[in-house]
Chains A and B, each alone.
Chain A
Amino acid sequence: MIRALYTASSGMKAMQFNVDTISNNLANVNTYAYKKERAEFEDLLYVTMERAYILENQGRPVNLQVGHGTVIRSVARDFTAGSLIQTENNLDFAIIGDGFFSVLHPSQNIYYTRDGSFKLSVTDEGTMLTTARGYPVLDEIGEPIYFDYPIDQIIINERGEISYKDEDGLIVPTGQRIGIFKFNNPQGLEAVGGNLYAENTASGFAVPDDEMGEPSTIRQGYLEASNVQVVEEMVNLITAQRAYELNSKAITTADEMMSIANNLKR
Chain B
Amino acid sequence: MVRGLYTSGWSMLALNKKMDVLANNLANVSTTGYKKDTVVLEGFPKLLAERLHDNTGGTARGVPVGELSFSNDVGEVYTYFTQGTLLKTDNSLDMSIKDEGRAFFTVLVPGRGQFYTRDGSFKLNADGQLVTGQGYYVLGENGIIQLNGSDFTVTEDGTIIQNGAVVDRLLITQFQNPDSLRKNGENLFTASDNSVVENFTGTVMQNYLEQSNAEAIREMVDMIALLRSYEANQRVINVIDGTLDKAVNEVGRV
Contacts from A to B (Cβ < 8 Å): 1, 3-5, 7-8, 10-11, 14-15, 18, 38, 40-46, 49, 51, 53, 59-70, 73-74, 76, 78-80, 98, 182, 184-188, 201-204, 212-214, 239-240, 242-243, 246-247, 249-250, 253-254, 256-257, 260-261, 263-264, 266
A134 to chain B, nearest CB (A): 31
**Number of cross-chain contacts by CB at 8 Å:** 214
Q: Can you sample 22 A-B contacts with CB below 8 Å?
A: A1-B20, A4-B20, A7-B27, A11-B27, A40-B121, A42-B134, A43-B34, A46-B182, A61-B76, A61-B78, A61-B194, A63-B77, A63-B183, A67-B27, A76-B91, A203-B126, A214-B151, A246-B220, A249-B220, A249-B223, A253-B226, A257-B15
Task: State A67–B34 Cα separation when bound (angstroms).
Answer: 11
Determine the chain B residues whose CB is within 8 A of the CB of A187 once the complex forms: 123-124
Q: What 0/1 readout, one digit per residue, does chain B (171-211) give for beta carbons within 8 Å of chain A?
A: 00000000111111111000010100000000000000000
Contact B126 A184 (CB under 8 A): yes
4 pairs of A and B residues whose beta carbons are closest in the complex: A11-B27, A213-B149, A204-B126, A4-B23
B170 contacts A by Cβ under 8 Å: no
B36 to chain A, nearest CB (A): 10
Task: State A63–B20 Cα separation when bound (angstroms).
Answer: 15
Q: What 0/1 readout, one digit per residue, does chain B (88-104) give for beta carbons within 8 Å of chain A?
A: 01110000000000000
Contact B126 A185 (CB under 8 A): yes
Determine the chain A residues whose CB is within 8 A of the CB of B134 once the complex forms: 42, 73
Chain B at the A interface: SS class: mixed
Contact B24 A43 (CB under 8 A): yes
Known interface pairs A64-B77, A67-B37, A261-B12; A8-B126 also in contact (CB < 8 Å)? no
B10 contacts A by Cβ under 8 Å: no
Contact B219 A246 (CB under 8 A): yes
Contact A264 B30 (CB under 8 A): no
